[in-house]
Structures are given as structure tokens and as C-alpha cells.
Structure 1
């Protein structure tokens, strides 16, 4: 069991009360935790890891395991509790990492942005087994995440763009022709369409590979307008790589790409794109049970783009603000943000100027879906309130109807079917919930999205826990085992 080695001596060890507290609340046995660690280690390619109950007991007694076990434990407990459980929260010591794979407080300069994008994407491609790179990353949250992101608004001394591209590396090559540059820009559009149709698990490595190629071009001498356009392409690809990583459950990897994308957007001088990246980071924080962080990030996005983003982008930001307030249990502010999103979206419908492709996803269906999820989240936070569940139902129904007609956004269709299923559970209507969850499973088989699969499993678990004797729920569990078995997803 050499792969389970530990640091420290017996004299140093005292019971790890923090790890013990999380372990007791998890409801796992020592054997269950050992099996989960082994399974995750195999997914990471760390086949030398072989943990058993006695090893878990040693960790609880104060032994500090070597990497990647602390990161595996962090991921497992984070998933169990639906919030960020850092290595330090478990009373374990994280290994020292280089800036390319640790932290989010990075230099806001062009050359470093190019270098870090290149290094991180190369590492991701080389260590492309599921989560392998993520095992060396730590999720940032709270001030350690929000404060560095606030520097997005600080002007960069001496400019960026061409200067950054000119000094980022020693290689020099020929200038990109306009058709070549337009082709590169079109790849982000194409990959975004694939993600919406197929989920993040199918094309993620292709996006990372394209991002790495763009960073190579940024290391060559380019005219400033070309460099800015290349930084914009890099920002869009890095955001998409982050979004796809988030979609397949690689949360630390996703956050790192989002941060690097924001740096690239700053070099491109594209504040609306930066606000979109911050909204993706906000969505991830809501998913991880950090609504206060989500609200800080979306407010930063609103502040940074208030004078330059179009109404569709502003409507999307209001909808994300509502999600954060809902998860914080603030119904008045949530409802106000929902109204702002709806009113601003009406302006977007009449907006005649061209809009960037990355905001095209925010359709009326998406607006309804976001607002319905805000009401649904309020219902949960308010102790399963039937009032908020009733508010959510007609809005979610409209989202499901619209997405059902949209072949391009099948993942969103599945997510809203699941959302509607949870609303029916809140209203204590298990038969309707089971029917919608089964429909979601059918759609889920068409996309590669661990996020969709996880939400389906959680919804079915809730249905079984609350209505396990209902025939439709029993049939649903059989359907789940047959059509959506738990398997590791290649990325």
C-alpha cells in the first residue's frame, strides 16, 4: 500500500477532529469511504492507490495522507454536502503547487496570461484522464476567489494586446491573414453549438486543444488589433473549456479555466465577455452551495459591464442575481431581480444591434428556466414552501415547452425537465415527477453531461426517500438502473 503513504511521525499525530466531524455527518462507514477513494483514484489513473478501513481509521487518528488522497477526499466530501469542502477544512495539509495549478490570484498581465493558458491547457491535454489534472487543483471560494477577480476592473499599466503578444515568447512567425483569423473565431462558435447539443463530455479535449493552438499564436509577434482578437478567441475557448469541465464534474479545473478566460478577456478589452465569464463562475458557485460568492461575482459582472453590455446580457445577469438571492433565502430581492430580468429581456427582443454569439443561448426559454429555478430554489430554502413551488410551476412548464421544440439545446431541455420534476416533488405529486424524470433520462442519453446525470440521480433519490412505495417511483428506479448506470466519463 505504498500509494497511501503519509507524512509526519506517530509523535506528531492527534485525532483529526475536522475530518472526523465531516465523516460522521456524511453517514458513510469507513469501508464505504475507502471504496469511494479507491474508485475515484482509479478514475484518476492512480491505480497504485489501495485504501482499506484500517487506512481510513489512521486518517481519522491524525495521519496525513499524500496526494492525491487529500484532493480526492475534498472532492468526495464536496459532492456529498453540495458545498466546497477544502483540503484544509478536512484538517489535512495540501501539497505545495506551482502557480500554473494552484490558486486564482494570478498576475493581470498579457505575457503571464498567455504562458499560464499555454501551460494549463498543455497539462490538461497530457493528463486527460478524468479528473487527473483536477486532483492537483484546489477550489477557491470566499475572499480568496472574489478579491482577485475584482482586479478585473483595474486598468492594466502600459496596455496589453500587441505588447503582450510580442513579449510573451521568443518565437516569431508570419502574421495571420484575415481569413485565418476569421476561421479561428468561427471555431468558438462551432464548439459552443456542439456543447449545447451534446454536452461537455464529448468535445472538451478538442476545445482545450484549440485553445492551446491559439496560445501558440499569441506567442508570436502580432499587430495589436490581431492580438486583441486572438485574446478574445482565447477567452471564449477558455470559458467554454471551463464550462465543459463544470458540466462533466471537474470543478477545480473549470474554475481555473474561468479565471484564465477572464484574464484573456481583459487583454482583449472586452468587458461584456468578461461579465459573461463572471456569470459562469457565479453559476458554478451556486452549484457548489456558495450563493454569497455567486452574488459577489454577478455584481462585479454588472458593475464592470453596465455601460457596454447589451440588454440580453444584462437580462442574463439579473437572472443569475435572482438565483443567488434565492439560494440565500432572500425572496424580496429575488423577486425584484426576476422582474428586472423579465423587463430587460423585453428590451433585448427589440434590440436591433448585432450581439455576440456567446449570449445567443439566453433565449426566452432560458429566461423562463432560470426564473423558475429561482422560485424552485426559494421553495427549498423556505422549508419546501408550496407558495414558491406554485410560482415555479407555470414558468418551468413554459421553459420545458419551449426547449422541447429546440433541437440545439438538448442539455437545457433535460435540465428543465428535471427542474419540473423537482417542482412536482415539492408539490407532493410523485407520479408527475416520475414521468418527467423518465423523460429527462431519455434526453440525457443523447448528451454527455455528468451535471444532468447527477441531477437526475439526486431527484430519483429524493423521490425514493419520500415516495418509495408509489408504483411510478419504483418503476423509475428500475428505469434509472437500466438506462443511466453510473460510469466514469471520459473527457
Structure 2
């Protein structure tokens, strides 16, 4: 018999499904033993074993799959691991873990909750980022951005208060991330809430209306968790959080949120220096959400597309996208936007334009836009520190070495208090451009200053 792990609470999902099937504990155990024997992995479960499972003990794999199979036979329908409260038990497959984008919602819930729960069960194995893995999620979201119905009858009833708590957790984690970096303890809140709170709620009871809100909250939490991982250059992990966020947005029936997630993925592609992929993602988001997203949201899509074109060396396309973003942002009105995009003010757009023109090596434009690009200093610590490194690169392009070095020292001082590999990469990118002046004492002093603050 397989060994078992203890759970903390009774398994009400298993109890409910077992009762609905009409199977007795004894008959369930007997049929599981038959299936296990047929697969040459014999077990010797009894009605006592089933009682232990109902009390909260979890059998090791593949017994949970056999339980679902037996109950499915009795009910005449597919029973998922989530239906029996064991979504977390399926073994992790590092190569495709979290990258699946199932068409059917029950399967999507199983994949998402299984991935989120894996963050607790064991140390996450190294996972690779792969651009090709985005083909299926993008195409399926573009073809059908909303599931037809998401109402569910399961565990305890989910209410507005549950959703409010999830949304607040996402906002709190985001606030920690932008101030202290993706590696801060506060930024990890999103992954913890997904694992411990959101995952069980998805197996609860909710109407279609409440369900849509629940999936939207889960989508934003998964996006925030992905952004924090990407900020630490854990790109394979971030990609998986993003894919599940996009699937949750589809269940929410919210194309604007789905587009926002896709554009966040475009930012990751830019971090990885894959501008072509970023362009595709930003344009796909705009095409799908252009009739439903607010002007402020569409302006963000366009700004990130502009940065991608600039990184790709296409000045004309970049400036067209920037002009579009500026026009859209001028149409934004207070009170019409979802909470996750309200931060997108002109200062944010100016920051995107500054980085775009830096990639295009147009230092005058970098200086022009940079004067408008500061965000609230007490909150957006990382963004303001990274902006200083971009301005420093612009000054270096203009031949103003002293000013560039001064800006970099300011950036290092600010970012020393932020746990962010992405921010450190910005400093390193600037330092890499100092090679022609590497023998000058002031350049060497700046390099030593950065190293003393953890940037080498």
C-alpha cells in the first residue's frame, strides 16, 4: 500500500463527490484495488483507508487518479482531481508544468491550482523559458477570450468578501514589488495567496457572476506573482504564472485584463531582448481588446508596443505607437478604469518614451521625455531608479560622461534598497557602455561604487 500524507482538514470535496456517486467506502476501496492490480501497482485499501482520506489524509500518487476514475465511473461523467480535493497531488512535470492552457474550464482549474499548489509541496525545479510555449495560449485566447459559463457547485459558497480579499492581496503584493522589488518578502504574497486561499475557492460554489469576479482576481494575483518572478530573472517561473493568469482572464470573460496580462508578458520579452515577440503580444492584446478596454488601458498596450519597436530599431513604428498612446491617454477619465491600470498616468508614458528613445539612440529625445518621467518617489522606487540608468545612457550617447556617471551613482544608491535583478541589469547595461573610458579614474570609481552596492 502506498504511504500517505496527513492533511489539516477533512476533505469535504471527496465526501461530497463520494456521496453523489452512491458508492460505499468498501466498494470504492475494492474498485481502486482492482484498477491498481490491472496496472501492475497493487494496493490493499479498505473502507478504513477511505475513511482516512475523508478525514484529511492524502494517498500518494497514482491513487488520487484512481479515486477520480472510480467515482467518474459511478457518476457517468469525468471527475477531476479538484473534484475530490486532490488537485495538488499530481506529480510535477518541470518541462510543461504551468504552461498548459486547457480549453475546458475544469481542466484549466486543475492545471492552475496544481501549479500554484506546487509552490508549497516541494522546492520548485529549474524551469526554462520558451517563446514557443506561448503559441497555444495566445491563439486560444484570441479565438475565444471568454468561457461560456463558469458557475460551479462544489465546496463552500464564495462571496464578495472573498473576492475583495484576493484583490486587496494583489494590490498589496504589487505595492511591495514596485517599492522593494520582486525578491522582497511582500512581493511573494501573491504566490502565497494563490496557493493557500485562491486555489481552494476555485473548487467552491459560486454563480456565474461571482465566478467571473473570482477568476479575474485570480488572474491579477497570478500576473503579479509572474511579474515578481520576472523581476528576479526567474523567467521560466514567471512565464508559467503569466500563462495561468491569461487562462484565468479568459474564464473571467475579461478581454481587457487578458490583454493587460499579454502586454505584461511583452515586457518580459523585452527584458529578455526578444522585441519581435513583444510586438506580437502587444498587437494581439490591442486587436482583441480594442472595443472593450478603456483608453488608459489601450494607451498602456500602445506604449509597450512602442518600446518593442524601438528595441527592434524601427523608429517610425515606435513613434507612431507612442503618438497613439499619448492620444489615448488624453481621453482617459477618472473613475472609468479597473484598479490594475489606474497608475498609468503621463509620467509612466513618459518613462516608456524615454526608454524607447534611448534604444533608438536619440539622446535629445531621451532628455526631453525624461524631464516628465518621474513617478511618485515614495512608491515607485524601482522604476525611478531604473529611469536614472536610462537617462544616464542618454547622457552618455550625447557625450556627457560626467553627468552620466552622476546619474548612475544616484541610481545605484536608490536601487541598493531594492531586491531586483532587473534593476541591477539596468545598471550593468550602463556600465558595459563605459569600456571606451575604462582607464579614467572617475569611471573606475563609479564601477567600484556600484560593486560596493552589490552590482558587479
Structure 1 CA distance, aligned partners of 2:358 and 2:330? 23
**Which residue of structure 2 lines up, in the alignment, with residue 300 of structure 1?**
284
**Which residue of structure 1 lines up, in the alignment, with residue 101 of structure 2?**
106
**Which residue of structure 2 lines up, in the alignment, with residue 52 of structure 1?**
none
Structure 1 CA distance, aligned partners of 2:140 and 2:156? 34
**Which residue of structure 2 lines up, in the alignment, with residue 267 of structure 1?**
251
Give SS of 1:108's match. Answer: coil
Q: Cα offset for 1:127?
A: 4.3
CA contact (8 A) 1:161 1:267 kept: yes
Q: 2:128 aligns with which of 125, 135, 138?
A: 138
**Which residue of structure 1 lines up, in the alignment, with residue 117 of structure 2?**
122
TM-score normalized with structure 2 length: 0.75
**Structure 1 range deviating more: 323-332 or 244-253:** 323-332
Comparing both chains, which one has the higher relative contact order based on Cα–Cα distances under 8 Å and sequence gaps of 6 or more? 1
Q: Cα offset for 1:336?
A: 1.0
Q: Deviations over 1:52-104 (max 9, x none)?
A: xxxxxxxxxxxxxxxxxxxxxxxxxxxxxxxxxxxxxxxxxxxx983883584
**Structure 1 range deviating more: 320-329 or 257-266:** 320-329
Q: What pairs up with 1:313-332 in 2 under 5 angstroms?
A: 313-332=297-316
Give SS of 1:161's match. Answer: coil
Structure 2 CA distance, aligned partners of 1:335 and 1:485? 33
**C-alpha distance 362-158 of structure 1, shift in aligned 2 (>3 A):** closer
Structure 2 CA distance, aligned partners of 1:259 and 1:280? 11
CA contact (8 A) 2:295 2:329 kept: yes
Larger radius of gyration: 2
CA contact (8 A) 2:163 2:217 kept: no
Structure 2 CA distance, aligned partners of 1:440 and 1:253? 28
Structure 2 CA distance, aligned partners of 1:100 and 1:358? 31
- Structure 2 gaps of 5+ residues are 1-90
Structure 1 CA distance, aligned partners of 2:100 and 2:116? 18
Correspondence 1:209 to 2:199: no
CA contact (8 A) 1:104 1:140 kept: no
Q: Deviations over 1:320-361 (max 9, x none)?
A: 11111112221111111111111111112xx14331111122
Q: Deviations over 1:285-318 (max 9, x none)?
A: 1121211111111111001110111111111111
Structure 2 CA distance, aligned partners of 1:310 and 1:158? 22
Structure 2 CA distance, aligned partners of 1:373 and 1:156? 31
TM-score normalized with structure 1 length: 0.70
Q: 1:222 aligns with which of 206, 213, 216?
A: 206
Q: Deviations over 1:190-222 (max 9, x none)?
A: 222121211111134321110122011101222
Structure 1 CA distance, aligned partners of 2:337 and 2:270? 27
- How many corresponding residue pairs? 364
**Which residue of structure 1 lines up, in the alignment, with residue 388 of structure 2?**
417
Q: Cα offset for 1:273?
A: 0.6
- Structure 1 gaps of 5+ residues are 1-95, 167-171, 380-387, 487-491
Give SS of 1:354's match. Answer: coil
Q: Deviations over 1:244-290 (max 9, x none)?
A: 00001101111111111000000001111111001011111112121
